[in-house]
Amino acid sequence: MKRFYEQVSTASVDDGQRFEVLLDARGVRTPMRRPLQVPSPSLADAIAEEWRAQDDEIDVESMPSTRIAATAVDRVAEDREGYIDQIAAFGGTDLVCYRAQAPAELVVRQMRVWQPMLDWAAETFGGELVVTDGLLPVDQPPDSLARLRGAVAEHDLYELAALGVATSASGSLIVALALSKGHLDAETAFDVSQLDESYQVEMWGEEADAQARRDTLRAEIECSAAFLELLRKG
């Protein structure tokens, strides 16, 4: 899509309860043609900056805050409970519950890095998850999964959109919740979620396509963290 606007600004709506980005005095709309409004002026400013930074051709992939906000408006608001279920489902097969049997160094790393994540989640949300050293799925305690779903449900529409990105990118509900709660920063969340891959890189090196995929996942986690921080900033 070619850039079709000159000026980018922000404005408050609903008596200052929400904020929107204006392109030549017209509010930005989502792919579903809904008004793109957010609850934080800091987030609105960040979205506005993404639109200002566009050249002759608009590159949506370079606008992560815009995309996450649009997801909140178009998808999360449309089916909040379904979106919560989608995120919470990661708890049933969470990355940090599936450990290697060998080599010994990887087993030690997983225990040192992943077990504290499970301990934190158990203390913070209640209930423990089962750890396995095989590839076959293991049934998790229903009460623990219910508590994790409750933790997800505490997030508002915009937080849920960011949490969904972080969960998908990390492959772990526990890591995403730790990021959302400020227990992990973006860099640490990426490192925790990529522990296995990082070990393989150390052993065998990394091909260009694998590196590109890791870079994409890192960017998604960083964007999710930045989005959540802007929401907290107000």
pLDDT digits (tens, 9 = 90+) for 82-113: 999 999 999 999 999 999 999 999 999 999 99
Reported as type and span, the H/E element at residue 229 is helix 208-233
Is there a domain that residue 1 lies in? no
Whether pLDDT at 127 is above 90: no
Identify the domain containing residue 61 by its residue range.
Answer: 8-76
Tell me the CA distances in angstroms from 46 to 41, 126, 144, 233, one per residue in order. Answer: 9, 35, 36, 12
Name the domain count of the chain: 2
* Section 145-159 average pLDDT: 98
Strands 18-23 and 8-13: antiparallel
How does residue 206 score in pLDDT terms, banded at 50, 70 and 90? confident
Same structural domain, 65 and 84: no
* Torsion angle of the four alpha carbons 163, 145, 118, 166, in this order, in degrees rounded to the nearest 10: -10
Same structural domain, 104 and 92: yes
Mean pLDDT (the chain, rounded): 96
* Section 42-61 average pLDDT: 97
Whether pLDDT at 170 is above 90: yes
Neighbours of 74 (CB within 10 A): 16
The domain that holds 212 is classified in CATH as 1.10.3580.10
Is there a domain that residue 212 lies in? yes
Last residue of a domain, one of 20, 48, 76: 76
Same structural domain, 106 and 152: yes
Same structural domain, 21 and 46: yes
Single pTM value for the model: 0.96
